[in-house]
Amino acid sequence: MHSTLTASAVRERLHTLVVIDVRTPGEYAGGHLPHAHNIPLDDLADALPALREAADRGDLLLVCASGARSQNAGTTLSSHGIPAASLEGGTVAWTSAGGELHRPATSTAPTWAMDRQVRLTAGSLVLFGLLLGQVVHPAFQLIAAGIAAGLVYSALSNSCAMASLLGKLPHNRTSRTDLNNTLAALRHN
């Protein structure tokens, strides 16, 4: 298992850390830690060689919105022998502790955070299932039950299949060019 750092510890060491933001490109554009490189969790396998090189030069810090995805990324890196720490509580904890978030100057309207996308999708599916269950056939209420079961499993396993699916939508994906540019910048950092 890899370590975690508090926001105050990161603030003291930020200038010495190589920061890897594992959120989607849209979330990253909405605000990220200073000098963070965006390598979405789904693209982590492609970035392993560059991350290994970066870890040889300095300490890696993994960041996401709340800390769950960065923990998953840390587990993946650890299994490949790449040491990394996660920001405890993610960007939420960082901003709560007074840390600044940087936004690209050319950024369009930011994509909603993944947890907000999940809440909207889950809530909409539950309402849709309940409405169809009342209007069309009671069996449609199984949609609501399935979403509820998925949310319970998500909490117990600290994973989220819905977030994984939503992360594959075009507005949540990194272009190959963007990822290659990020990896090149990481190698020359």
CB 100 within 8 A of CB 92: no
CA angle 95, 164, 151 (to 5 degrees): 80
Mean pLDDT over each residue of the chain, to the nearest integer: 87
Average pLDDT for residues 149-177, to the nearest whole number?
78
In this predicted model, which residue has the larger pLDDT, 141 or 181? Answer: 141
CB 73 within 8 A of CB 44: yes
What was the pLDDT predicted at 36? 94
Tell me the pTM: 0.72
In tens, the pLDDT along 103-117 reads 876 555 556 777 788
Sequence-distant (6+) residues with CB within 8 A of 19 are: 33, 34, 35, 36, 37, 61, 63
In tens, the pLDDT along 115-159 reads 788 889 999 999 999 999 999 999 999 999 999 999 898 888 877
What was the pLDDT predicted at 122? 92
In tens, the pLDDT along 65-92 reads 888 899 999 999 999 999 999 999 999 9
